[in-house]
Structure 1
Amino acid sequence: MSTELILASVIFVAIGLILVSVFALSKFVGPNNENSKIKNTVYESGVSNPVGTTNIRFSVKFYLVAISFLLFDVEIIFMFPWAINILELGYYGLFKMFIFMGLLFAGLIYIYKKKALSWD
Protein backbone atom coordinates (compact mmCIF):
# COMPACT_ATOMS: atom_id res chain seq x y z
CA MET A 1 0.00 0.00 0.00
CA SER A 2 1.26 3.44 -0.78
CA THR A 3 1.90 6.01 1.91
CA GLU A 4 -0.45 8.50 0.25
CA LEU A 5 -3.35 6.06 0.50
CA ILE A 6 -2.62 5.39 4.16
CA LEU A 7 -2.35 9.11 4.90
CA ALA A 8 -5.63 9.85 3.05
CA SER A 9 -7.47 7.10 4.93
CA VAL A 10 -6.13 8.30 8.29
CA ILE A 11 -7.23 11.87 7.50
CA PHE A 12 -10.65 10.61 6.39
CA VAL A 13 -11.14 8.62 9.60
CA ALA A 14 -9.87 11.52 11.74
CA ILE A 15 -12.31 13.96 10.15
CA GLY A 16 -15.15 11.48 10.71
CA LEU A 17 -14.24 11.03 14.37
CA ILE A 18 -13.95 14.78 14.90
CA LEU A 19 -17.38 15.37 13.37
CA VAL A 20 -19.01 12.64 15.44
CA SER A 21 -17.42 13.92 18.63
CA VAL A 22 -18.44 17.54 17.93
CA PHE A 23 -22.07 16.54 17.35
CA ALA A 24 -22.10 14.35 20.47
CA LEU A 25 -20.50 17.10 22.54
CA SER A 26 -23.00 19.69 21.33
CA LYS A 27 -25.85 17.40 22.39
CA PHE A 28 -24.56 17.29 25.98
CA VAL A 29 -23.20 20.84 26.32
CA GLY A 30 -25.88 22.79 24.44
CA PRO A 31 -29.24 23.88 25.84
CA ASN A 32 -31.98 21.28 25.97
CA ASN A 33 -35.38 22.96 25.46
CA GLU A 34 -37.25 20.15 23.73
CA ASN A 35 -40.66 20.91 25.24
CA SER A 36 -40.53 24.68 24.93
CA LYS A 37 -43.81 26.22 23.77
CA ILE A 38 -42.05 29.01 21.88
CA LYS A 39 -39.76 26.57 20.08
CA ASN A 40 -42.69 24.56 18.70
CA THR A 41 -44.71 27.52 17.38
CA VAL A 42 -44.87 28.48 13.72
CA TYR A 43 -42.81 31.46 12.59
CA GLU A 44 -43.17 32.41 8.97
CA SER A 45 -41.71 35.59 7.48
CA GLY A 46 -42.14 37.62 10.64
CA VAL A 47 -45.74 36.50 11.23
CA SER A 48 -46.15 34.60 14.46
CA ASN A 49 -49.76 33.55 13.83
CA PRO A 50 -50.20 32.61 10.16
CA VAL A 51 -53.64 32.89 8.60
CA GLY A 52 -55.04 29.93 6.70
CA THR A 53 -53.69 26.46 6.10
CA THR A 54 -50.43 25.36 4.57
CA ASN A 55 -52.13 23.04 2.10
CA ILE A 56 -53.00 25.68 -0.50
CA ARG A 57 -52.23 24.97 -4.14
CA PHE A 58 -50.16 27.30 -6.26
CA SER A 59 -51.14 28.12 -9.80
CA VAL A 60 -49.25 26.42 -12.60
CA LYS A 61 -48.51 29.88 -13.99
CA PHE A 62 -45.78 30.35 -11.38
CA TYR A 63 -43.96 27.28 -12.66
CA LEU A 64 -44.44 28.22 -16.31
CA VAL A 65 -42.97 31.67 -15.73
CA ALA A 66 -40.05 30.17 -13.79
CA ILE A 67 -39.27 27.62 -16.51
CA SER A 68 -39.60 30.29 -19.20
CA PHE A 69 -37.22 32.53 -17.28
CA LEU A 70 -34.68 29.71 -17.01
CA LEU A 71 -35.02 28.88 -20.69
CA PHE A 72 -34.40 32.43 -21.82
CA ASP A 73 -31.81 33.07 -19.15
CA VAL A 74 -29.66 30.15 -20.31
CA GLU A 75 -29.43 31.73 -23.74
CA ILE A 76 -27.16 34.39 -22.24
CA ILE A 77 -24.69 31.62 -21.37
CA PHE A 78 -24.45 30.76 -25.06
CA MET A 79 -24.40 34.34 -26.29
CA PHE A 80 -21.51 35.52 -24.10
CA PRO A 81 -18.78 33.37 -25.70
CA TRP A 82 -20.23 34.13 -29.12
CA ALA A 83 -20.04 37.88 -28.48
CA ILE A 84 -16.44 37.59 -27.34
CA ASN A 85 -15.35 35.49 -30.35
CA ILE A 86 -17.49 37.11 -33.05
CA LEU A 87 -14.50 38.36 -35.05
CA GLU A 88 -12.91 34.90 -35.14
CA LEU A 89 -16.17 33.15 -36.07
CA GLY A 90 -16.94 35.43 -38.99
CA TYR A 91 -20.11 35.20 -41.04
CA TYR A 92 -20.54 31.50 -40.29
CA GLY A 93 -20.79 32.21 -36.56
CA LEU A 94 -23.13 35.12 -37.20
CA PHE A 95 -25.39 32.88 -39.28
CA LYS A 96 -25.44 30.24 -36.53
CA MET A 97 -26.35 32.83 -33.92
CA PHE A 98 -29.20 34.11 -36.09
CA ILE A 99 -30.52 30.54 -36.28
CA PHE A 100 -30.21 30.19 -32.51
CA MET A 101 -31.96 33.49 -31.85
CA GLY A 102 -34.65 32.59 -34.38
CA LEU A 103 -35.39 29.37 -32.51
CA LEU A 104 -35.58 31.24 -29.24
CA PHE A 105 -37.88 33.82 -30.81
CA ALA A 106 -40.10 31.02 -32.12
CA GLY A 107 -40.24 29.63 -28.58
CA LEU A 108 -41.21 33.05 -27.24
CA ILE A 109 -43.99 33.33 -29.83
CA TYR A 110 -45.19 29.84 -28.87
CA ILE A 111 -45.28 30.79 -25.18
CA TYR A 112 -47.09 34.03 -26.02
CA LYS A 113 -49.72 32.24 -28.14
CA LYS A 114 -50.32 29.66 -25.41
CA LYS A 115 -50.86 32.63 -23.05
CA ALA A 116 -48.42 31.27 -20.52
CA LEU A 117 -47.33 34.79 -19.60
CA SER A 118 -50.81 36.28 -19.10
CA TRP A 119 -52.27 36.37 -15.60
CA ASP A 120 -55.98 35.81 -15.05
Structure 2
Amino acid sequence: MQSHPYSWNYIPLVLQILVAIGMGCSMTTVSWLIGRHRNSKTKLEAYECGIPAEGDARGRFSVRFYMVAMLFILFDVEAVFMLPWAVIYRKLPAITGSHMFGFWEMLVYLGFVLVGFFYIMKKGILDWASDKADL
Protein backbone atom coordinates (compact mmCIF):
# COMPACT_ATOMS: atom_id res chain seq x y z
CA MET A 1 0.00 0.00 0.00
CA GLN A 2 1.45 3.29 -1.11
CA SER A 3 0.93 6.32 1.08
CA HIS A 4 0.84 9.84 -0.19
CA PRO A 5 1.77 13.13 1.52
CA TYR A 6 -0.69 14.56 4.04
CA SER A 7 -1.15 17.71 1.94
CA TRP A 8 -2.98 15.61 -0.69
CA ASN A 9 -5.93 15.46 1.70
CA TYR A 10 -6.53 19.12 0.90
CA ILE A 11 -6.87 18.59 -2.86
CA PRO A 12 -10.72 18.27 -2.74
CA LEU A 13 -10.96 21.52 -0.79
CA VAL A 14 -8.65 23.36 -3.18
CA LEU A 15 -10.60 22.01 -6.17
CA GLN A 16 -13.90 23.12 -4.65
CA ILE A 17 -12.54 26.63 -4.02
CA LEU A 18 -11.17 26.84 -7.57
CA VAL A 19 -14.46 25.64 -9.08
CA ALA A 20 -16.44 28.17 -7.00
CA ILE A 21 -14.16 31.05 -8.01
CA GLY A 22 -14.18 29.90 -11.64
CA MET A 23 -17.96 29.65 -11.77
CA GLY A 24 -18.39 33.09 -10.17
CA CYS A 25 -15.95 34.70 -12.60
CA SER A 26 -17.38 32.93 -15.63
CA MET A 27 -21.00 33.84 -14.78
CA THR A 28 -20.02 37.47 -14.28
CA THR A 29 -18.05 37.55 -17.53
CA VAL A 30 -20.81 35.90 -19.58
CA SER A 31 -23.40 38.24 -18.09
CA TRP A 32 -21.25 41.24 -18.97
CA LEU A 33 -20.68 39.97 -22.52
CA ILE A 34 -24.31 39.22 -23.42
CA GLY A 35 -26.00 41.91 -21.29
CA ARG A 36 -27.16 45.31 -22.49
CA HIS A 37 -25.19 48.36 -21.44
CA ARG A 38 -27.66 51.20 -21.86
CA ASN A 39 -27.53 53.47 -18.88
CA SER A 40 -30.22 56.10 -18.52
CA LYS A 41 -31.06 58.68 -15.88
CA THR A 42 -33.85 56.48 -14.55
CA LYS A 43 -31.64 53.39 -14.44
CA LEU A 44 -28.89 55.17 -12.51
CA GLU A 45 -31.29 56.72 -9.97
CA ALA A 46 -31.23 55.37 -6.42
CA TYR A 47 -34.16 53.04 -5.73
CA GLU A 48 -35.02 51.07 -2.64
CA CYS A 49 -38.12 49.06 -1.76
CA GLY A 50 -40.28 50.77 -4.36
CA ILE A 51 -39.88 54.18 -2.75
CA PRO A 52 -37.98 56.97 -4.53
CA ALA A 53 -35.05 58.30 -2.52
CA GLU A 54 -35.63 61.57 -0.69
CA GLY A 55 -33.21 63.74 1.20
CA ASP A 56 -29.63 63.12 2.23
CA ALA A 57 -28.47 59.61 3.05
CA ARG A 58 -26.23 61.01 5.76
CA GLY A 59 -29.10 62.16 7.94
CA ARG A 60 -29.07 61.76 11.70
CA PHE A 61 -30.62 58.72 13.31
CA SER A 62 -32.23 58.56 16.70
CA VAL A 63 -30.00 57.20 19.42
CA ARG A 64 -32.67 54.55 20.02
CA PHE A 65 -31.66 52.87 16.77
CA TYR A 66 -28.16 52.29 18.13
CA MET A 67 -29.46 51.31 21.56
CA VAL A 68 -31.68 48.63 20.07
CA ALA A 69 -28.73 47.34 18.02
CA MET A 70 -26.57 47.09 21.14
CA LEU A 71 -29.38 45.41 23.05
CA PHE A 72 -29.78 42.87 20.28
CA ILE A 73 -26.09 42.02 20.58
CA LEU A 74 -26.38 41.81 24.38
CA PHE A 75 -29.30 39.39 24.32
CA ASP A 76 -27.74 37.44 21.47
CA VAL A 77 -24.63 36.91 23.60
CA GLU A 78 -26.93 35.77 26.41
CA ALA A 79 -28.26 33.01 24.17
CA VAL A 80 -24.71 32.05 23.22
CA PHE A 81 -23.88 31.54 26.92
CA MET A 82 -27.08 29.68 27.73
CA LEU A 83 -26.91 27.10 24.94
CA PRO A 84 -23.67 25.38 26.06
CA TRP A 85 -24.91 25.46 29.65
CA ALA A 86 -28.12 23.70 28.61
CA VAL A 87 -26.16 21.10 26.63
CA ILE A 88 -23.86 20.15 29.51
CA TYR A 89 -26.40 20.58 32.35
CA ARG A 90 -26.71 16.82 32.93
CA LYS A 91 -22.92 16.47 33.07
CA LEU A 92 -22.51 19.24 35.69
CA PRO A 93 -22.27 16.87 38.69
CA ALA A 94 -19.11 15.38 37.20
CA ILE A 95 -17.67 18.85 36.61
CA THR A 96 -18.82 20.87 39.65
CA GLY A 97 -20.02 18.25 42.12
CA SER A 98 -23.75 19.03 41.94
CA HIS A 99 -26.54 20.11 39.61
CA MET A 100 -27.49 22.91 41.94
CA PHE A 101 -24.22 24.82 41.61
CA GLY A 102 -24.66 25.18 37.84
CA PHE A 103 -28.34 25.94 38.28
CA TRP A 104 -27.72 28.78 40.77
CA GLU A 105 -24.90 30.18 38.65
CA MET A 106 -27.23 30.41 35.65
CA LEU A 107 -29.94 31.92 37.83
CA VAL A 108 -27.52 34.66 38.95
CA TYR A 109 -26.55 35.28 35.32
CA LEU A 110 -30.20 35.50 34.24
CA GLY A 111 -30.85 37.83 37.18
CA PHE A 112 -28.23 40.26 35.88
CA VAL A 113 -29.71 40.05 32.40
CA LEU A 114 -33.24 40.66 33.72
CA VAL A 115 -32.06 43.68 35.72
CA GLY A 116 -30.68 45.11 32.47
CA PHE A 117 -33.88 44.27 30.64
CA PHE A 118 -36.08 45.97 33.24
CA TYR A 119 -33.77 48.99 33.17
CA ILE A 120 -34.19 49.43 29.41
CA MET A 121 -37.94 48.92 29.73
CA LYS A 122 -38.09 51.61 32.43
CA LYS A 123 -36.04 54.00 30.28
CA GLY A 124 -38.44 53.43 27.37
CA ILE A 125 -35.76 52.53 24.86
CA LEU A 126 -37.95 49.87 23.27
CA ASP A 127 -41.01 52.15 23.22
CA TRP A 128 -40.88 53.53 19.69
CA ALA A 129 -44.36 55.05 19.91
CA SER A 130 -43.28 57.94 22.14
CA ASP A 131 -41.27 60.83 20.74
CA LYS A 132 -38.44 60.94 23.25
CA ALA A 133 -37.00 58.70 25.91
CA ASP A 134 -35.01 59.79 28.93
CA LEU A 135 -31.64 58.40 28.05
TM-score (norm 1): 0.65
Percent of aligned positions that are identical: 35
Q: Which residue does the alignment assign to 2:46?
A: 42
**Uncovered stretches (5+) of structure 1, i.e. residues with no partner:** none
Amino acid aligned to 1:32: H
Q: Paired residues, what number?
A: 117
Q: Which residue does the alignment assign to 1:82?
A: 85
Cα distance in 1 for partners of 2:117, 2:19 equals 54
Q: Which residue does the alignment assign to 2:36?
A: 31
**Equivalent pair of 1:65/1:116 in contact (CA under 8 Å):** no
Compare relative contact order (CA 8 Å, sep 6+) and give the higher one, 1 or 2: 1
Give the root-mean-square deviation of aligned CA atoms. 3.7
TM-score (norm 2): 0.59
Question: Which residue of the other structure, out of 58, 61, 70, is the alignment partner of 1:67?
Answer: 70
**Uncovered stretches (5+) of structure 2, i.e. residues with no partner:** 93-98
* Cα distance change on mapping 1:91 and 1:56 into 2, 3 Å: same
* Cα distance change on mapping 1:29 and 1:68 into 2, 3 Å: same
